[in-house]
Amino acid sequence: MSPSTAPVRAAGERARADRRPPGLWQAGWRQFSRNRFAVAGLAIMAVFVIASLTARWIAPYDPTRIDMMFPNLPPGTGDHLLGTDELGRDIFSRLLYSSQVSLLVGFSVAIASVAIGTLIGAVSGYFGGWLDTCFMRLVDVMNAIPLLFLNILILAIFGSEFSYMILVMTFTGWMGVARLVRGTFLQLREMQYVEAARAIGVSDAGIIFRHLLRNASAPIIVNATLMVGYAILGESALSYLGLGVQVPQTSWGLMLSNAQEFMLVDPLQAVYPGLCILLVVLAVNFVGDGLRDAMDPRKQAAIARRGWGRWRRNSSKFGN
Amino acid sequence: MTEYLIRRTLQSVLILLLITVVTFILIHAAPGGPKQIYLSPNLSQAAAKVQEHNLGLDRPLPVQYVNWIGDLLRGDLGYTFKNHIPVGEIIWPTVGHTLVLMGAAWLLTLLIALPWGIYNSTSEYGLSDQTASFIAYIGFAMPTFWFGIILQELFALKWNLLPLSDMWTMGKEGQIGDLLLHLMLPVTVLTIGFLASYVKYARSSMLEVLDQDYIRTARAKGLGEGRVVFRHALRNALIPIITVLGLDLPVLVAGAALTENVFNWPGMGRLFVQMAVAREYSVLMAITLLTAVFVIVGNFVADLLYALVDPRVKLSRKGGAAA
């Protein structure tokens, strides 16, 4: 036994001395870190986040600098790691700056729509009655129009601005979470601890936020993670269609629509942005699935299954 | 059953009505309101007043709404702003084109996904099962339009095997063979997108059924595995898949919209994007309502089928939230 493990064991014994079982987060992390795919996803996410945060310093060129002397350079020419596009702009720098847009949209839309969805779901699940009916009809209405169409319609009416896009995607993205939270709350509100809390005079808001929301937090967090992926895909689709991010800003979707125009000249240009989207969304989904397994106490028994078997099991629950 | 039917119909009509309200409000919430949209900025003030009156924009909102609904019910979808063409004339042909594309993709998906899912349920965690989950992960994370572009580059530009885009080659309009060639790439893109989830649904639905007691009974009385799977399990496993098919309609329509844009397919989705860029609101509203009708009817039929084939469904269930 190496001496370095000693303090760890000491800490473990102290914890045991306190007779405190590991909390949700601690146990969750332990399980999460055993899932290879989830950890890989987290690592890829970290790389992209760091790249986007430091884009200003690590990008070799200004992403908007047009250099008509050197359009469509192949990868590896000069200092252009991935070549240049049809206007001579450095593709690698553009990819870096695009990741800022995608990640910003992804995270802000996910956080905002999950917050709204949670609130609406919580209120309608807890109170029920006409409030519930109203909200759920609203969800039905929103669900009856394909999301992409709804996004396009609203962006067409109000104009394609970056902040609008985040708002619009939030406005059209909360329904899934609302349904989920409502369903969970419908179950949880019948629990005895809720009755107990009410008996000792805890207010409705207290019960919702302190008691119910905590118990419903695991699926909400998992859903928020998956929402990041959906939002990134949605942003790229809107930008590809010309209704999202506008020139001179760049985004992976916008780069793809450029690349499609010039695919006879340089087919490789279309590959990079798509690969970036694929990688980020894949990573986010892996993290989400890892979280789902880690935070569900009922799934404790399944740790033994590893590798492909684990991947398979995860994917069979995907998207429910 | 009749009661359920009536309740469900009323519900669908209500949702449809709410959608018209939402679309109406959206148009009127636009900066400048409908006047900005329907009136040319070049008109003189007096001319604008006349035009406003002719279009009924000076009347109170509820009246305008009722008039609009009346027009819709009479099949009058309005006119385009630019050339004053009836909206219906633009939309109806594209609906057919979208249905061709979607129908082909949907059929292909089912033809592949159902047998594959059933097979996977009988050999859990086998190679084929893992391949399916691999495709699922990629399919969920991949931008469909990117996949389309890559296919175009490979099959149309590099190997010159299939047409790059559009529905027909010039001068060959109406020939089935030409249409099939043009369908290949977009249908592949759509199918890959849908395939994974349907294989998954078929598989998990089958697994659930195969776990039931009556399957054990069937095996115990010595029935062959094929008979157990196809006669006893499959019938019940298909029930949830029906619902999924209905609920997935909006995804199908939207997915087709992106693919249509990549392959320049003259369908509803491409028209929608074009009209959004051109700010032709009357066309946008019409298409939105049309897809909504489509989706609601789809869900309605799925629910109805579900209730028909599964006697366990509680017909008195409250609210529209499916399970």
Asked whether the beta carbons of B322 and B243 are under 8 A apart, the reply is yes
Which residues partner with A77 through β-bridges?
A80
* Residue of A137, A144, A260 lying closest to B292 (CB–CB): A144
3-state class percentages of chain A: helix first, strand second, coil last, to nearest 5: 75, 0, 25
pLDDT(B288) > 60:
yes
A80-103 pLDDT, tens per residue?
Answer: 767 777 777 788 888 888 898 889
Q: What percent of chain B has pLDDT over 70?
A: 87
| Closest CA relative to residue A298, chosen from A218, A225, A223, A226 | A218
Return the SS3 of B129. Answer: helix
User: Taking CB atoms and an 8 Å cutoff, what residues of chain A touch B146?
Assistant: 256, 270, 273-274, 277-278
Return the SS3 of B234. Answer: helix
Distance CA(A232)–CA(A253), nearest Å, equals 10
pLDDT at A231: 92
User: Taking CB atoms and an 8 Å cutoff, what residues of chain A touch B153?
Assistant: 263, 267, 270
- Judged by a CB distance cut-off of 8 A, whether residue A158 touches chain B is yes
| Closest CA relative to residue A231, chosen from A288, A185, A188 | A288
DSSP per-residue string spanning B27-65: HHHSTTHHHHHHS-TTS-HHHHHHHHHHHTTTS-HHHHH
A–B interface: beta-carbon pairs under 8 A:
169
* Residue of B147, B254, B299 lying closest to A146 (CB–CB): B254
- Judged by a CB distance cut-off of 8 A, whether residue B26 touches chain A is yes
Name which of B146, B152, B153, B281 to mutate to probe chain A: the one with the most chain A Cβ atoms within 10 A of its Cβ: B146
pTM: 0.82
pLDDT at A62: 76
Residue in B closest to A319 by C-alpha: B197
Distance CA(A106)–CA(A233), nearest Å, equals 8
pLDDT at A124: 92
Query: CB-based burial of residue A262 (10 Å sphere; 0-12 exposed, 13-18 middle, 19+ buried)?
Result: middle
Mean pLDDT of A148-174: 86
CA dihedral A158, A164, A169, A172 (to 10 degrees): -40
B193-242 pLDDT, tens per residue?
Answer: 888 788 888 888 888 888 888 888 888 888 888 888 888 888 888 877 77
- Judged by a CB distance cut-off of 8 A, whether residue B84 touches chain A is no
Residue in A closest to B278 by C-alpha: A156
Amino acid found at A197? A
Distance CA(A41)–CA(A286), nearest Å, equals 5
* Residue of A137, A147, A157 lying closest to B15 (CB–CB): A137
pLDDT at B265: 87
Q: At what angle do helices A271-295 and A252-261 cross, to 10 degrees?
A: 150
pLDDT at B86: 82
Asked whether the beta carbons of A220 and A288 are under 8 A apart, the reply is no
Distance CA(A152)–CA(A243), nearest Å, equals 7
- Judged by a CB distance cut-off of 8 A, whether residue A277 touches chain B is yes
Average pLDDT of chain B? Answer: 80
A274-320 pLDDT, tens per residue?
Answer: 999 999 999 999 998 888 888 765 554 444 344 444 445 444 443 33
pLDDT(A2) > 90:
no
pLDDT(B63) > 80:
yes
Asked whether the beta carbons of B188 and B114 are under 8 A apart, the reply is no
pLDDT at A24: 66
Asked whether the beta carbons of B288 and B72 are under 8 A apart, the reply is no
* DSSP for residue A283: H
A101-123 pLDDT, tens per residue?
Answer: 889 999 999 999 999 999 999 99
A194-211 pLDDT, tens per residue?
Answer: 889 989 988 888 888 888
CB contact under 8 A, A149 and B253: yes
User: Taking CB atoms and an 8 Å cutoff, what residues of chain B touch A156?
Assistant: 275-277, 279, 281, 284
Q: What percent of chain B has pLDDT over 90?
A: 0
Mean pLDDT of A118-137: 90
Helices and strands of chain B, counted as H and E runs: 14, 0
User: Taking CB atoms and an 8 Å cutoff, what residues of chain A touch B26?
Assistant: 153-154, 157
pLDDT(B250) > 90:
no
Structure tokens at B258: 């992106």
A6-50 pLDDT, tens per residue?
Answer: 455 555 555 455 556 666 677 778 878 888 888 999 999 999 999
Give the residue, A108 or A265, on which the prediction is more confident. Answer: A108
| Closest CA relative to residue B105, chosen from B248, B284, B291 | B248
- Rounded to the nearest angstrom, the minimum Cα separation between B299 and chain A is 9
CA dihedral A60, A62, A64, A65 (to 10 degrees): -90
Name which of A172, A312, A313, A317 to mutate to probe chain B: the one with the most chain B Cβ atoms within 10 A of its Cβ: A312
* Residue of A236, A274, A318 lying closest to B136 (CB–CB): A318
Confidence of residue B315 (pLDDT cuts 50, 70, 90): low
Return the SS3 of B250. Answer: helix
- Judged by a CB distance cut-off of 8 A, whether residue A186 touches chain B is no
Residue with tokens 């950890």: A39
Count how many residues are written for chain B. Answer: 323
Residue in B closest to A289 by C-alpha: B137
Average pLDDT of chain A? Answer: 80
Q: For chain B, list the domains and their CATH numbers.
A: 2-73 (no CATH), 89-322 (1.10.3720.10)
User: Taking CB atoms and an 8 Å cutoff, what residues of chain A touch B291?
Assistant: 145-146, 149
Distance CA(B323)–CA(B315), nearest Å, equals 12
B123-178 pLDDT, tens per residue?
Answer: 777 888 888 888 888 888 888 888 888 888 888 888 877 787 777 777 777 777 77
pLDDT at A13: 53
- Rounded to the nearest angstrom, the minimum Cα separation between B222 and chain A is 31
| Closest CA relative to residue B285, chosen from B83, B71, B135, B130 | B71
Distance CA(B268)–CA(B98), nearest Å, equals 6
Residue in B closest to A154 by C-alpha: B26
Return the SS3 of A35. Answer: coil
- Rounded to the nearest angstrom, the minimum Cα separation between A102 and chain B is 13
